[in-house]
Amino acid sequence: MIPYGRQEITDDDIAAVTAVLTSDFLTQGPRVTAFENAVAAKVGAAHAIAANSATSALHIACQAIGLGPGDLLWTSPITFVASANCGRYCGADVDFVDIDPATFNMSADALEAKLIAAQKSGRLPQVVVPVAMCGQSCDMRRIRALADTYGFKVIEDASHAIGGSFAGAYVGRGDYADITIFSFHPVKIITTAEGGMALTNDAALAARLRLFVSHGITRDEGQMVGASEGPWYYQQIALGENYRMTELQAALGLSQLDRLDAYVQTRRQQAAVYQAALADLPLTLPFDGPETASAWHLFVIRLDDAASRRPVFEQLRAAGIGVNVHYIPVHLQPYYRALGFNPGDFPLAEDYYSRAISIPVYVGLTAAAQLQVINTLRRILT
């Protein structure tokens, strides 16, 4: 089976992880700090805080901003559920903004229209979570301008997008977001097995992110209530979590980070092959905007005939091609339906879902395997 995505693990990666196993630290050691510093330097951010998953990083981002009961978070319905769940973990309400059908990302037009209506009704969001779907940045300049006008914080869920760029700068530099989140799950651009990271240029937010990732505990006397009792002393000053990344994960991430640009370039080449080879089929190919350079975590085709999606999907799987669907709209999940969401609430997201199939794109995808994907699609659709 050709998977839709897969990690590449090299001898250098194995050596990096093995070295940790014979070192003095398995958790909370120098490699975590080195990985944080390396990612921050790579994308141009001031601060980076590693976590054990991007879900955890989204949660502490909401905590650091101060999201809580009675507050409101908006995100895209086309994303993994974590982009919305992070608000629910904090007791906040969640709502969604429909997508731009060209990019699959949150529509800036729809966001502005919803903000105008929300201001009139007296309930604006405290946090908006735009999602860089498939590795392509949202229109972050416009979202930042709306944030400045309407007073919300921006947590950019760039779980798909490390190595991608917007307006000539790496995603994660923080020009437009208060906090940016990366994922290092095995099918992402680079991996730490599981893992995530929150990046920010705000020193106060960085301090709070670091606090919440490790139980709400500090050894910094400047943050303590009262004086330290000695070099052993620590205080819990907030209710945090144990979301720390291990040294093993960080060592793997450091090794993989050296190949980030090469990995993204390979994915872009594969995307270009698909764009040329599938252009005449009854489907819509993904779009990379004029200011964006996608990291191509996913390559999503949308069939012209929604009714054909299931049979096409099943035929591809039967032919040994491990296609998938990203994503079922979050508002249609039973948990969110129980909160009052219904089919028809976000029609562009629902139309996208009815037609979408993710086809294989990853570093280990050979030219022969990609040709097999192309030829199978052509056979099925012509």
At 170, which helix (H) or strand (E)?
strand 169-170
**Strand, helix or coil for residue 16:** helix
The Cβ-side half-sphere exposure at 121, using a 13 Å CA radius, reads 9
Reply yes or no on whether 188 is catalytic: yes
Q: Is the Cβ–Cβ distance between 309 and 315 less than 8 Å?
A: no
Residue closest to 335 by CA, chosen among 99, 82, 107: 82
Q: Is the Cβ–Cβ distance between 38 and 254 less than 8 Å?
A: yes
Residue closest to 61 by CA, chosen among 194, 183, 192: 183
252 phi/psi in degrees, rounded to 5: -65, -45
**Strand, helix or coil for residue 48:** strand
94 phi/psi in degrees, rounded to 5: -130, 140
What residue spans of the chain are helical by DSSP H?
11-21, 30-43, 54-65, 82-89, 108-121, 140-150, 203-212, 247-257, 260-277, 309-318, 334-337, 347-355, 367-381
Scored b (16 or more CB within 10 A) or e, 113-132 reads ebbeebeeeeeebbbbbbbb
Q: Is the Cβ–Cβ distance between 183 and 53 less than 8 Å?
A: yes
Chain centroid offset of residue 221 CA: 34
d(CA 14, CA 274): 32
- Among residues 42, 114, 153, 188, the one annotated as catalytic is 188
Tokens 């505990």 map to which residue? 217
Residues catalogued as catalytic: 188
